[in-house]
Amino acid sequence: MNPISPDRFDAVLFDLDGVLTATAKVHAACWKKLFDEFLEERAKAAGEPLKPFDIDSDYKLYVDGKLRYEGVRSFLGSRGIDLPEGTPDESPNSETVCGLGNRKDALVHEVLEADGVEAYEGSVRLVEQVRSRGIRTAVVSASKNCKIVMEAARISHLFDQVVDGEVAERLRLPGKPKPDTFLTAAERLGVVPERAVVVDDAISGVQAGRAGGFGLVIGVDRKGDPESLRQSGADIVVKDLSELV
């Protein structure tokens, strides 16, 4: 049964990677490649054993759902590593926060160009259903590749607004778990948070939905850990959004 009815809600705000498109695994793999290469170089230089990036724990805790440079800072901080900030136009080969973030972006582009993008069928059906009921929709994503991915997946026409990493940078909005990007999307749609639904697969996204005072927070469990989403504030947790259609 779909709990998203027009008598209760005016809008639904969807995360992109892992909710609408099957790109979360791409991001996780690219983060691992980036950090493992970086950590391996540091371990060799220091004569210490390598402690690789762990997708099951490090990805979920430190980078999933966050703006790219925030993800770099968060993970490096967890390892006690402090790098210069650098600048957004920095070379991907620079040993700075922005350099590492840009290197990760380049890795994602390589994969997307080679493999394309797949949209989750159940997610598309839910978006189409809520729109048919007069409920507005938006994408809220930390990714600066958001619009490219949406176009590749052929879902751009299904959304009234997009608040992505580009918008967050331009407006200087903090990323998830802060609620600012979701609140901006709701404002652009002309709806109050209490009348809007947040749908996210990341702990940080669910936390942002709860912190923003949204009327309903739905967690999408793509990682086999529904309890973490519930503990982070999800009202409902599903394995796939087709369960709500």
In this prediction, residues 219-235 reach a mean pLDDT of 95
Active site residue 15: yes
Q: Which CATH number goes with the domain that contains 131?
A: 3.40.50.1000
Count helices and strands in the chain by DSSP H and E runs = 9, 6
Residues above pLDDT 90, as percent of the chain: 87
For 141-170, what is each residue's pLDDT tens digit? 999 889 989 998 999 999 999 999 999 999
Active site residue 17: yes
Residue 98: which of 108, 114, 85 has the closest Cα? 85
> Does the residue 6 lie in any domain?
no
The identity of residue 33, as a single letter, is K
**Tokens linked to 165:** 């990493």
> Does the residue 232 lie in any domain?
yes
Domain finish residue from 64, 97, 115: 115
CA distances from 49 to 4, 43, 44, 157 (A): 50, 6, 8, 49
Q: Please give the residue that has the higher pLDDT: either 75 or 151.
A: 75
Same domain, 161 and 67: no
Host domain of residue 50: 25-115
Same domain, 54 and 106: yes
> Does the residue 38 lie in any domain?
yes
Are residues 219 and 229 in contact, defined by beta-carbon separation less than 8 angstroms? yes
Same domain, 121 and 105: no
Check 10, 15, 105, 201 and give the catalytic one: 15
pLDDT at 1: 67
Check 17, 64, 201, 221 and give the catalytic one: 17
pLDDT at 177: 95
Same domain, 148 and 228: yes
State how many domains the chain has.
2
